[in-house]
Amino acid sequence: MIPAMDHSPLGDPSFGYDAFAQMVQDTIGVCIPQTKRKMIENRLGSRVRELGLRDVQEYFRHLFQDEALGAEMRHIEEAVTTNKTDFFREIDHFHFLRQVILGTASRQNPKGMFKAWSAAASTGAESYTLAMVLAEHALAYPDFQWGVLGTDISGRVLDHAKRGIYSTSVIAPVPQDLRSRYLHEGRNEWQGKWRITPALRNRVRFRKLNLMDADYNVDINLDVIFLRNVLIYFDPEVQLSVLSKISRHLAPGGHLFVGHSEGMVVRMPQFRQVAPSVYRKEA
């Protein structure tokens, strides 16, 4: 649902990219200043051609004058988001999870469900990395119950995440022993592709969620939230608002992970830094 906003650019000399960029910032949060214009207009090119429009200016007119914005939103979400991700990205976070957080969880709460949320999941590498670390812990502590939720605004990356199929180069950072336990190698026409095992996929749920929503339909009392490499695309006001909504979903003593280039953004009193770009929510 697109919030009612005045994006009517008729007669406005800045009509076009500026109005589009403002609408994107209001609804998706992502800042796309003039310096990104060429890239964004290139990405919109295939949609412009699909619609049989002359050029991107005509696309902007179509959005605002023909009231096509609602119907086009899913294409716009794909065009303005950057989905780069990796298995075991910023690996010290996963060492911290395994060595510091899980040590405590297994001792203090062996029967409770350990819940992790990857809040900008992209194609699923982060969610499945979390799942591998948690599944390994469960091998050592059979009473340990766990689940992972992955959410993202982009339907395209979520479809990829749900399929859980990756090329050999993408799974390269997954250590050999984990590969043999949690990935199946494809044969024949699937040569060079790897699929996350059904047992692991069953523990990971993916669904669409826009971090700009007023509130999030996600459990509270989560143990860890990974909100990595997405805040950098937002302006400071949006960063603060997203962090304050996110913090409602962490249990006291739960941990928030942001990207290594985003640590300076977390300056709220309820978060105490415990490692580089890792924050513990105070009780």
Ligand X SMILES: C[S@@+](CC[C@H](N)C(=O)[O-])C[C@H]1O[C@@H](n2cnc3c(N)ncnc32)[C@H](O)[C@@H]1O
Q: Answer yes or no whether residue 278 interacts with ligand X by CB under 6 A.
A: no
d(CA 144, CA 178): 18
**Cβ of residue 80: shortest distance to ligand X, in angstroms?**
8
Q: Which residues pair with 279 in a beta bridge?
A: 256, 273
**Cβ of residue 39: shortest distance to ligand X, in angstroms?**
15
**Cβ of residue 149: shortest distance to ligand X, in angstroms?**
13
Q: Answer yes or no whether residue 120 interacts with ligand X by CB under 6 A.
A: yes
Q: Answer yes or no whether residue 129 interacts with ligand X by CB under 6 A.
A: no
| Tokens read off for 216 | 């999030």
d(CA 125, CA 182): 13
Region near ligand X per CB under 6 A, out of 80-88, 93-101, 104-112, 159-167 = 80-88
Q: Return the number of the residue (144 or 157) whose C-beta is nearest ligand X.
A: 157
**Cβ of residue 122: shortest distance to ligand X, in angstroms?**
4
**Sequential DSSP letters for 126-189:** HHHHHHHHHHHHHHH-TT-EEEEEEEES-HHHHHHHHHTEEETTTTTTS-HHHHHHHEEE--GG
| Tokens read off for 164 | 């859980």
Among 57, 109, 197, 210, binds ligand X (CB under 6 A): 210
Strands in 165-167's sheet, in edge-to-edge order, are 165-167, 193-196, 183-185
Q: Which residues of 134-149 are buried (b: 16+ CB within 10 A; e: fewer)?
A: bbebbeeeeebbbbbb
| Tokens read off for 13 | 């000399």
Total chain residues near ligand X (CB under 6 A): 24
Of 43, 47, 61, 156, which is the active-site residue?
43
Looking only at residues 232 through 251 of this chain, which bind ligand X when binding is defined by CB under 6 A? 233
d(CA 196, CA 163): 8
Q: Return the number of the residue (63 or 153) whose C-beta is nearest ligand X.
A: 153
Q: Answer yes or no whether residue 93 interacts with ligand X by CB under 6 A.
A: no
Sorted by sequence, the CB contacts under 8 Å of residue 64 that are 6+ apart come out as 7, 8, 9, 10, 15, 19
Among 21, 23, 24, 30, binds ligand X (CB under 6 A): 30
Q: Answer yes or no whether residue 25 interacts with ligand X by CB under 6 A.
A: no
Helix (H) or strand (E) holding 224: strand 222-227
Q: How many CB atoms lie within 10 A of CB 186?
A: 15
Q: Is 66 a catalytic residue?
A: no
Q: Answer yes or no whether residue 54 interacts with ligand X by CB under 6 A.
A: no
Among 165, 222, 230, 265, binds ligand X (CB under 6 A): 230
Q: Is 152 a catalytic residue?
A: yes
Q: Answer yes or no whether residue 262 interacts with ligand X by CB under 6 A.
A: no
Q: Which residues pair with 183 in a beta bridge?
A: 196
Among 25, 154, 239, 277, binds ligand X (CB under 6 A): 154
Q: Which residues are known to be catalytic?
A: 43, 152
Q: Binding residues for ligand X, per CB under 6 A?
A: 28-30, 81-85, 89, 120, 122, 126, 152-154, 157, 210-212, 228-230, 233, 259
